[in-house]
Amino acid sequence: MFIDPFIIRSINRSELRKRILLYLNEIYPNATYLAEIARVVKSDPSNVKGALVGLGNRYNGYSSLVSLGLVEIIEDSGFKYYRLSEYGKKVVELLRSYHTYYNKFM
């Protein structure tokens, strides 16, 4: 499976995006809400929202996890929940194998 290098670069440039992906991978296929993600990854909800969907100038919407297709939004009864997409699952698997490979040299 081909994974766009821009996606890998975006994830590697943000520790928060990486932590969010890893958490969503742990609870997959379940979805969760913004405040829960923020609590687990130990970050401010506004920063988590920025990483997920983009937020003003600080968080580029183009490199947000939803825009990259790694996370999907599920709306139910007026609430938004976030879940790792199938593509996101494959990217996390690649990242894990990547880190295992590079840790051999460190």
| CATH code, 5-103 | 1.10.10.10
Could you give the 3-state DSSP secondary structure of residue 33? coil
Is the peptide bond prior to 5 cis by the omega test (within 30 degrees of 0)? no
Q: pLDDT of 36-77, one tens digit each?
A: 999 999 999 999 999 999 987 767 778 899 999 999 999 999
Q: What is the pLDDT of residue 96?
A: 84
What are the residue boundaries of the structural domains of the chain, listed by start? 5-103
pTM over 0.85: yes
CB neighbourhood size of 87 (10 A): 16
Instruction: Pull the structure tokens for residue 94.
Output: 């690649």
DSSP state letter for 75:
E
